Amino acid sequence: MEHRIVYVEENSIGQELGIEKGDVLLSVNGQEIGDVFDWRTLTLDETVTLLVRKPDGEEWELEIEKEPYEDIGLSFESDLMSDYIRCSNACIFCFIDQMPPGMRETLYFKDDDSRLSFLQGNYITLTNMKPEDVRRIIRYRMEPMNISVHTTNPELRVRMLKNRFAGKVLSYLEDFYEAGIRMNGQIVLCKGYNDGAELERTVRDLMRYAPVMESLSIVPVGLTKYREGLAHLDPFTEEDARRVTALAARLQREAYEACGIHFVHASDEFYFLAGEELPAEETYDDYPQLENGVGMSRLLLNDAARALENVHRCGKKRRYTFATGELAAPLLEKILKSVTMKFPGVSHTVRAIRNDFFGPGVTVAGLVTGKDLIAQLEGADLGEGLFLPNCMFRSGEEVFLDDVTRTEAEQRLGVPVYILKNGGETLVRAMCGRLRKSDYDLSHGLYEIRNG
């Protein structure tokens, strides 16, 4: 494979050798480069030979002597140095299949790429992998691997993923386990499919891989109002949720006795639906699946409590509104109440944004759209400004999921809109009027209130 170079770092080895933007990498140490993992592995040594083709067709063989692990300073057209691997399943619970038409093209892309599992924490189903792909993961120690298991019943897995290989590839878990490749597992729970006895079977089957499999999350299927033509799935009830949390607690105790970790974790949403208190911090084993909604609420509460102990006075008394999804709103209310108990002058407001865009089954802040936010807050008394969590926005940008911008929201709502970094400490400082520049996710900020 050929790889076009798009950037050469200043004062790097590559620049010293005369490599330029537009040159093409042909091989390293006589071997073709399939992707970024081949590139990184083959360029680790002290002696490296590159074969590069210049724009005029001339080929240069460059022998490099460098420090071990020293970077050569080249960037390529794709971060992976190859195309992303698309998902080959038609899962009955796929959230992307429940997206409405007309949104950004990137929102409809389904990846199932083991490299993104390693680099970004994405979950993979293993269905488009071959034994040589498994061997490559083991050879390069690409860990942890995050794996969407859903069920260990081969026939049921085929039915849920709608892929005839879905049951057979479960054997790759054994390969990873034998090689000591660390894993995290995920179960998207679907009522009437992989719940009840099937859920207990799956957890017990996977428990034997612990502690190499470091954690297993149980998350409820997300159901939007755009499910026409898809398999019928019912939402979980309070009673259903209690059965899930009880099972998780029972199997956590067994896992801890057997291997010293709690292993299986129900997502926060199950505890809210069940009307139960969140588990204690120690049961989360250092929070291995925060991005999956497991333990995020407990961490937020505990961090907020610790932060409040260190705040000894409030800033100038001002009133702001904090908006979030329906799932997290009671948590923010609880934190705000603890702040007002210590500082009675604090009088902020928490607003839960109902998800009219995706439907009532979607309650997380990260899927709140700008249009829903504006529709429900326009004309309301929001005080001196509106605080929003950064998960409502595209990473590194001031744009909601539906392409509404922060500036547009400000104009429609008539107050400044500020984007806060995640975390209980930042939240408490915002409520207490003690914010710092580092509390803002982007370059703008409410710097004028940091000293009260």
**Residue-level pLDDT at 440:** 65
Domains of the chain, by residue range, sit at 3-76, 96-292, 299-449
Report in angstroms the alpha-carbon separations of 227 from 37, 67, 224, 360, 368.
Answer: 38, 55, 7, 13, 19
H or E element, residue 213:
strand 213-220
Structure tokens at 49: 């030979």
Query: Rounded to the nearest 10 degrees, what angle do helices 329-342 and 296-309 cross at?
Result: 10
The pairing of beta strand 321-325 with beta strand 183-189: unpaired
For domain 96-292, the CATH class is alpha beta
* pLDDT tens digits along 365-413: 999 999 999 999 999 999 999 999 999 998 888 999 999 999 999 999 9
Sign of dihedral through CA atoms 240, 242, 247, 248?
A: positive
> Are 199 and 244 contacting, i.e. CB atoms less than 8 angstroms apart?
yes
H or E element, residue 52:
strand 47-53
Three-state DSSP class for residue 57: coil
* Residues in Cβ contact with 246 at an 8 Å cutoff, skipping those fewer than 6 apart: none
pLDDT in tens, the chain (452 residues): 899 999 999 999 999 999 999 999 999 999 999 888 889 888 988 999 999 999 999 999 999 999 988 999 999 988 888 888 889 999 999 999 998 888 777 777 788 888 888 777 899 999 999 999 999 999 989 999 999 999 999 999 999 999 999 999 999 999 999 999 999 999 999 999 999 999 999 999 999 999 999 999 999 999 999 998 999 999 999 999 999 999 999 999 999 999 999 999 999 999 999 999 999 999 999 999 998 889 999 999 999 999 999 998 887 888 999 999 999 999 999 999 999 999 998 899 999 999 999 999 999 999 999 999 999 999 999 999 999 999 999 888 899 999 999 999 999 999 999 999 888 999 999 999 887 776 665 444 443 333 33
For domain 3-76, the CATH class is mainly beta
Domain 96-292 identical in fold to domain 299-449: no
Sign of dihedral through CA atoms 194, 198, 203, 208?
A: negative
Please, where are the H alpha helices in 85-219?
A: 114-120, 131-140, 154-161, 171-179, 197-207
Omega prior to 144 cis, within 30 of 0: yes
Which residue type is seen at 171?
S
Please name which of 424, 426, 423 lies closest in space to residue 435, comparing C-alpha atoms. Answer: 426
Distance CA 403, CA 380 (A): 23
> Are 317 and 431 contacting, i.e. CB atoms less than 8 angstroms apart?
no
The pairing of beta strand 3-8 with beta strand 24-28: antiparallel
**Residue-level pLDDT at 439:** 66
Distance CA 246, CA 445 (A): 43
Distance CA 24, CA 35 (A): 14
Distance CA 125, CA 147 (A): 6
**Residue-level pLDDT at 117:** 81
Structure tokens at 252: 């956590």
Query: Rounded to the nearest 10 degrees, what angle do helices 296-309 and 424-431 cross at?
Result: 50
* pLDDT tens digits along 17-56: 999 999 999 999 999 998 888 898 889 889 999 999 999 9
CATH number of 299-449: 3.40.50
